Structure 1
Amino acid sequence: MKSNDDQHLRETPLARTELLKGHFLHVVRDTVRLPNGDEATREFVMHPGAVMIIGLLDDGRVVLERQFRHPMQAVMIELPAGKLDAGEESLLCAQRELLEETGYRATEWAFAGRLAPTIAYSDELIDIWFARGLTLGERRLDEGEFLDVFTATPAELQAWCFTGEVIDCKTLIGSMWLQNVLRGEWALSWRGADAPPDAAESAP
């Protein structure tokens, strides 16, 4: 439910202090005025945005990755994903990341929606893309990037989400989205790989 009048909940930014400007992450502390007039601080990570790709093979299997994630100190099962470069369009980023990480190209793409994975401490938004008509070529991994690419059925992915073998937030949401699409409950609008972006893809 979205209310037309949220002023009793909104916070007003007053000032910002930069805490960390790293190679990837930007951490700031904002001073805000609360709805009751008091002041408080909010520390959060600024993020350039990202994409996630649900790549569907002709036999219905899904393209997945296994990658070591340092903060978790574990190898995680994930859907392909990556961050937006400065000024990069969402679809172009999805096409680039799918090719670089997995070697796959797709002839058709569908923008599904948007995910905010960590709303309490980051402004990151992840665009969810479906891809089909896949052909496999050579991967173009970034320097220092190591990951395995494999495929699984949607049922296998769903089972791993249930058992806890998949705990990555974006992949859990991607599996849910995929199940709703396969059941015909959530529709997708497919377009060619060269189609221009529509308004939904650039909405905040």
Structure 2
Amino acid sequence: MADDSHLVEHRLGSEELFKGRLLHAWRDTVKLPDGGTATREYIVHPGAVVIVPLLDDGRVLLERQFRYPVQQVMIEFPAGKLDVPGEDKLACAKRELLEETGYTAREWAHAGVLHPVISYSTEAIDIWFARGLVDGGQRNLDHGEHLDVFSATPQELAQWCRDGRVTDAKTLSCALWLQNVLAGAWTLEWRS
């Protein structure tokens, strides 16, 4: 691995700008690699999970949900934030799948981690695949959460990614994972 020390910025000071229920904003003064200084504003995020739920017939479960910041209904894979610092990510994935879709899964596989907005957030999203889905028929959405659950073929999802119907970063990343897993190019280690 290359030595990246010539790229690293060092914090000189930090100022809290805002602390809300979800987001925590900071402005840091940093020493640049060339000796100069700059400010960096960023959001501290607790972390999240996203689930790629595979139905036995080859389709995937997706959601349609209005996202206020972009003022539109988005097509997404089920996802949610960690409720407490250090929460087990698989437990979070199981909880979110059940709460949002009403499904449980017999098997789970951790695929990887994505950082959706590295320029201004610490958010890391763990990608989980779920299969052997069982519909419990009962969702338990968070207060104020409204979404539709539907299924699509991987080919339909890929087309929606190509034509711009899907623009959510985590769903685009998961579509790439799904395509490579289904093609046999990327493998997963499944566990019960």
Bucket of the pairwise TM-score, normalised by the shorter protein? over 0.9
Could you say which residue in structure 2 is the equivalent of 1:14?
12
Cα separation, 2, equivalents of 1:23 and 1:89? 20
| TM superposition shift of 1:42 | 0.1
Structure 1: 4+ residue segments shifted above 6 A: none
> Structure 2: which 5+ runs fail to align?
none
Could you say which residue in structure 1 is the equivalent of 2:116?
117
Cα separation, 1, equivalents of 2:143 and 2:38? 41
| TM superposition shift of 1:25 | 0.5
Could you say which residue in structure 2 is the equivalent of 1:45?
43
Cα separation, 1, equivalents of 2:57 and 2:169? 26
Cα separation, 1, equivalents of 2:134 and 2:41? 43
Amino acid at match of 1:109: W
TM-score (norm 1): 0.92
TM-score (norm 2): 0.98
| TM superposition shift of 1:90 | 0.5
| TM superposition shift of 1:7 | 1.1
| TM superposition shift of 1:57 | 0.5
Structure 2 counterparts to residues 137-156 of structure 1, below 5 A: 137=136, 138-156=138-156
Superposition RMSD on alpha carbons, in Å? 0.6
Structure 2 counterparts to residues 144-183 of structure 1, below 5 A: 144-183=144-183
Cα separation, 1, equivalents of 2:141 and 2:184? 35
> Structure 1: which 5+ runs fail to align?
193-204
Amino acid at match of 1:170: K
Cα separation, 2, equivalents of 1:7 and 1:23? 35
Q: For 2:100, what is the secondary structure of its paired residue?
A: helix
Structure 2 counterparts to residues 85-96 of structure 1, below 5 A: 85-86=83-84, 87-96=86-95
Amino acid at match of 2:29: T
Identity across the alignment (%): 65
Q: For 1:93, what is the secondary structure of its paired residue?
A: helix
| TM superposition shift of 1:14 | 1.1
Q: For 2:142, what is the secondary structure of its paired residue?
A: coil
Cα separation, 2, equivalents of 1:96 and 1:128? 14
Structure 2 counterparts to residues 181-200 of structure 1, below 5 A: 181-192=181-192
